[in-house]
Amino acid sequence: CAPNGEVWFGTFNSGAIVYRNERFAAMTTNDSLPHISVSQIYQDRQGRFWIVTDGGIYMRDQNQQTHIFDQMDNLQSPAIYCIYEDQAGDMWFGTRFGGALRYAGDEFEVYDENDGLPSKTIYFIAEDQQRRMWLGTNDGVAYFHSPNFFYFDAASGLADNECNTRAVMRDREGWMWFGTIGGASRVNVAAVPFTSVPPRVDILALETKFHRYRSFANLTLPAKAANEINFKFGALSFINENANTNLVKLEGFDDEWKNLGAEHEIRYTNLAPKQYTLWVRGVNAYGQASSDTAKVSFEVLPAFYQTAWFYAGCALLLLGLGYGIFRLRMRQARARERELEKAVAEKTERLQETHSFLATVKESLPIGLLVLDAKGIIVDNNRAAQELFGFAASDLRGRELHALLSSPLMKRDAVWETLAGQKAEIDLVGMHKDGHRFVCQIHSDHVNNGDGKLQFLILTCENIDERKQLEAKLIENEKQLAMVDLMAGMGDVLNNKLSGIQGYIDILKTELASLANQESARAIAWVQGSIHDMSKVIRQLIDCSAYLVKQAVVATDLRQELRRLEQHWNDKIKFRITPMP
């Protein structure tokens, strides 16, 4: 019931119901309510109106301004079970899964298990006469005396650990009543101490697979025992001893304290050889830590393979092994280097021999050899080329091709294209240093680079003047022989014809003699004399042609010319080539 006379009801699934002016009105999510399931409605001493729901908190301040609080406002769980205003004016809220919330100064402060609460589910919140806040959870009842939480559970006499929603009351005598699923419990809060005697902690034993130690003075453990070490300890308290909490830290291994809860032992395995100290601290049910921390110091001895001398020996062994491997690799490298040097020397020697052989062949060739670059400049030549053109080797190198060879039928560029375009055989005019010209037969070949372009042009050059002269003489001889054969043939034909005429004239003469015609006889006699003269001339022509054939009408003796050419080439190709090894 509100101070203004309004009566408010919270429903499970219909929002909040208000009774005013003898009429009921509903407030739902359409009216800014976070959820239609309402747990509690409360108006605080400042006049603020609170409604807690399963979806958050609705608050209307003194100025009728509405505020909605949900997970965006540090609410870990928007489902709220209860609301309570303490004597300081702070608002407390119990959530389903988000612990307890305190609203002070327009901000929410969260309390959960990290702060000492036994659970994050808060069913009710109340305050006793000593201004201690009591919170019912599903794991006991806790009371808060800043900054610590203390709690009771079934082991402390509570009817049950799980409490019911808003089942809490403070009676006239100051006792607190708590409702649980197992019944109601009453606590005389005046008898609840603020503090108690801090627990005492003792380390009971250190156990390994081989021995159990109870005395810890100058304790050393062999390396094999460090594979598994078990510590047993206990925290002594006279108030709810089962709720004691044990904290341990192994210095040299752990970076932070470990909360073991109610466990009274801890096991460590595979500890490295060095010095360790185990610290043990106890916390009682009221959150008070032991004033003295128990400890045990011990040393794990190294195994033989973990000692300094073993490491030193291994290091020396590794150094020796490394040095031996280094020496072996160096020896192998030197042997390989000698093999490579030998192979390079052998290949170099073979290349030199091949180069010498090719140089000998080049210089011993009976025909001239010119090597030109792609621009038509002579870069190399042999001795025969020097003799052919009359220049020294140094004078030939660097000359252009057209300075030595030309053609009366082609231009300079056409000559170069013919020679450089493909393998060619061509007769050109060679120019000697002294100025005389000669017929030079050229054979060309190419050396291309990796791109298929011309790199070098190789030309062989031969003076064929004598060959050309011999060919001319042979042609002339053939002409003369043809004329002789023609004359002989014509003489034979004429002689045969005249012989036939003479025979017919003799017959005619005999017939005419019987007619005793003097004029005819004289004419026949004149014809016979003419025939006789012509036969005589023809016989002389035949005899002359036979004589020309037998004697020196053809001035060239072919056999002598062939013998002379044979001797010439034998002299040219007489050079000695050193055989390859």
pLDDT tens-digit series, residues 19-78: 988 899 999 999 889 999 999 999 999 989 999 999 999 999 888 888 888 877 778 888
Q: Give CB contacts under 8 A, 24+ apart, made by 191-195.
A: 192/143, 192/150, 193/286, 194/145, 195/286, 195/288
Q: What is the pLDDT at residue 581?
A: 42
Q: What is the pTM of this model?
A: 0.43
**Please, what CATH class does the domain formed by 365-463 belong to?**
alpha beta
What mean pLDDT do residues 198-214 have?
87
What mean pLDDT do residues 252-263 have?
89
Q: What is the pLDDT at residue 254?
A: 92
Name the token pair of 15. 């929002």
- Which CATH superfamily groups domain 7-191? YVTN repeat-like/Quinoprotein amine dehydrogenase (2.130.10.10)
In whole angstroms, give the CA distance from residue 98 to residue 75.
Answer: 7
Taking the CA atoms of residue 389, residue 390, residue 392 and residue 398 in that order, the dihedral angle to the nearest 10 degrees is -40
Q: What is the pLDDT at residue 421?
A: 80
Q: Give CB contacts under 8 A, 24+ apart, made by 94-100.
A: 94/122, 94/123, 94/124, 94/125, 94/135, 94/136, 95/120, 95/121, 95/122, 96/54, 96/121, 97/121, 100/125, 100/135
Phi, psi of 440, rounded to the nearest 5 degrees: -120, 120
- Is-contact 231 278, C-beta < 8 A? yes
What mean pLDDT do residues 276-284 have?
89
Q: Which of 306-310, 324-328, 461-465, 569-573 has the lowest mean pLDDT?
A: 569-573
Q: What is the pLDDT at residue 564?
A: 60
Q: What is the pLDDT at residue 231?
A: 92
pLDDT band at 11 (very low <50, low <70, confident <90, very high): very high
What mean pLDDT do residues 237-252 have?
80
- Is-contact 98 132, C-beta < 8 A? no
pLDDT band at 544 (very low <50, low <70, confident <90, very high): low
Q: Which CATH number fits domain 200-306: 3.40.50.1000, 1.10.1040.20, 3.30.70.360, 2.60.40.10?
A: 2.60.40.10
What mean pLDDT do residues 215-220 have?
86
pLDDT band at 81 (very low <50, low <70, confident <90, very high): very high
pLDDT tens-digit series, residues 124-134: 999 998 888 99
In whole angstroms, give the CA distance from residue 542 to residue 537.
Answer: 9
- Is-contact 245 264, C-beta < 8 A? no
- Is-contact 258 248, C-beta < 8 A? yes
Percent of the chain beyond pLDDT 90? 30
Q: Which of 86-95, 352-361, 382-391, 412-421 has the lowest mean pLDDT?
A: 352-361
Residue 146, classified by CB atoms within 10 Å of its CB into exposed (0-12), middle (13-18) or buried (19+), is exposed
Q: What is the pLDDT at residue 550?
A: 57
Q: What is the pLDDT at residue 52?
A: 94
Q: What is the Cα 83 distance to its own chain's centre?
A: 65
pLDDT band at 512 (very low <50, low <70, confident <90, very high): low
